[in-house]
């Protein structure tokens, strides 16, 4: 295996910033610099997104360079991205280079102008560039009191070219441009936030409509088989509680973007808690439930829990439910086993709760099997993963 590139000279040997003060600067052309700043100001007001190309062009013009560009630090990947590159290295627009072991990284750490002589001797990754860099002047893109965003750099035509006047002009340009870039970034973040807020509002409106429709269906279904107003109130209250728990889990989507689904185990725990006070066992691998499926899953297991609380294991203090599941790429298979309760037997007729359970399983494309054992009901479920992801 070939060894990675190693600097042939220490980094200190290629930093010659002191030369900026030793070299005799040309007579400053303050009018030219003033016009450059006015040009930048006008650019920021009229076409702020084009500020970087104009900044680079002015840097090349004021410093008589053969190439120039901006290196903006991408904190997520810890690399600099070259933007607005003009001149001899224009073809390298958009490339990324590491922050560590780079001239731009050193310039940001130093926080002021840095002059490099043949930097490829110390930074091996620069040796393959199409243009041998004899002298490189770099200043941080930094406004007063703020952290630098990156660097502005320019390459000289020949060795011994840059002086303190070039460094001063570059620093003025960079400070002004840093303010403009921060304004652009703030505007982009605001625009993204407004778009996200608009999207969330649309989704919330859609979900509220669905909740009202589902609630209306619950009222009709509960009233159809209620034997008394007290029975209707209790049945409807339980179903609305399950709906509220499902909505609480989905609500995380509006606080956490992107939303990666609700945990199936957490849904079961929340639904069971009012009935068993933590007596039951919920065990299985992580399965993520999508926004649309959360409500169906919550209602399905609420009905099973409500039935157990009325007639099964959760109707007595010593009873409990053991829920275990496994999942592969296609299906989740679950067993609901009641223990410690009264003797169970198949019902004479299909009740309202059973209709909700069977209808929900059918809606999800799954299957359900009831095993009425003397020691307690066992329910086996198969639910397609594809329907749970929605």
Q: Do domains 11-189 and 226-388 have the same CATH topology?
A: no
**In the numeric block, which tokens belong to residue 218?**
């619950």
**Under 8 Å between Cβ of 66 and 87:** yes
Residue 122 CA, chain-centre distance (Å), reads 37
Please, what sign has the CA dihedral across residues 202, 208, 214, 217?
Answer: negative
Q: What is the pLDDT of residues 273-324, one digit of tens each?
A: 777 667 788 999 999 888 778 878 888 888 888 788 778 888 888 888 999 9
What per-residue confidence (pLDDT) applies to 54? Answer: 83
Domain boundaries, the chain: 11-189, 226-388
Would you state the pLDDT for residue 325? 94
pLDDT tens across 81-127, in order? 998 899 999 988 989 988 988 999 999 999 999 999 999 888 877 77
The pLDDT of residue 367 is: 94
Task: Provide φ and ψ at 242, rounded to 5°.
Answer: -60, -40
pLDDT in tens, the chain (390 residues): 333 444 445 788 899 999 998 988 877 777 777 777 677 767 665 666 677 888 888 888 888 999 999 998 988 899 999 988 999 999 889 899 889 889 999 999 999 999 999 998 888 777 766 677 889 999 998 877 778 889 999 999 888 999 999 998 888 888 877 777 766 665 556 455 556 555 445 545 544 555 545 455 545 545 555 566 666 566 556 556 555 665 555 554 444 444 456 888 888 888 787 776 677 889 999 998 887 788 788 888 888 887 887 788 888 888 889 999 999 989 999 999 998 888 888 887 777 678 878 888 998 999 999 998 888 899 999 999 999 887
The whole-angstrom separation of Cα 55 and Cα 40 is: 7
The class level of CATH for 226-388 reads: alpha beta
Query: In CATH, what class is 11-189?
Result: alpha beta
What was the pLDDT predicted at 24?
Answer: 85
């Amino acid at each position: 295996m070939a060894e990675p590139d190693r600097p042939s000279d220490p980094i200190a040997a290629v930093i010659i910033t002191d030369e900026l003060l030793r070299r005799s600067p040309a007579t400053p052309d303050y009018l030219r610099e003033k016009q450059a700043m006015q040009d930048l100001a006008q650019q920021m007001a009229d076409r702020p997104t084009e500020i970087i190309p104009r900044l680079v062009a002015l840097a090349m013009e004021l410093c008589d360079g053969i190439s120039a560009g901006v290196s903006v630090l991408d904190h997520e990947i810890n690399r600099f991205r070259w933007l607005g590159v003009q001149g001899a290295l224009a073809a390298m627009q958009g490339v990324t280079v590491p922050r560590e072991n780079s001239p731009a990284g050193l310039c940001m750490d130093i926080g002021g102008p840095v002059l490099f002589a043949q930097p490829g001797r110390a930074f091996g990754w620069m040796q393959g560039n199409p243009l041998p860099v004899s002298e490189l002047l770099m200043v941080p893109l930094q406004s007063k009191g703020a952290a630098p965003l990156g660097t502005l750099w320019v390459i000289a035509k020949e060795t011994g070219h840059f002086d303190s006047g070039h460094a001063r002009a570059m620093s003025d340009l960079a400070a002004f441009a840093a303010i403009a870039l921060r304004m652009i970034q703030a505007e982009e973040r605001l625009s993204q936030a407004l778009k996200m807020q608009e999207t969330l509002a649309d989704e919330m409106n859609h979900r509220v409509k669905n909740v009202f429709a589902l609630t209306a269906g619950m009222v009709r279904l509960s009233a159809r088989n209620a034997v008394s107003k007290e029975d209707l109130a209790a049945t409807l209250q339980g179903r609305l509680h399950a709906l509220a728990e499902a909505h609480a889990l989905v609500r995380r989507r509006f606080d956490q973007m992107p939303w990666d689904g609700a945990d199936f185990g957490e849904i079961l725990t929340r639904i069971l808690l009012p009935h068993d006070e933590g007596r039951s066992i919920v065990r299985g691998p992580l399965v993520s439930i999508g926004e649309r499926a959360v409500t169906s899953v919550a209602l399905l297991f609420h009905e099973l829990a409500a039935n157990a609380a009325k007639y099964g294991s959760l109707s007595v203090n010593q009873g409990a439910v053991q829920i275990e599941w496994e999942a592969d790429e296609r299906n989740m298979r679950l067993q609901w086993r009641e223990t410690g309760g009264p003797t169970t037997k198949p019902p004479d007729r299909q009740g309202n709760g059973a209709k909700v359970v069977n209808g929900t399983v059918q809606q999800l494309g799954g299957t359900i099997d009831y095993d009425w054992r003397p020691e307690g009901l066992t329910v086996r479920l198969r639910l397609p993963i594809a329907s749970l992801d929605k």
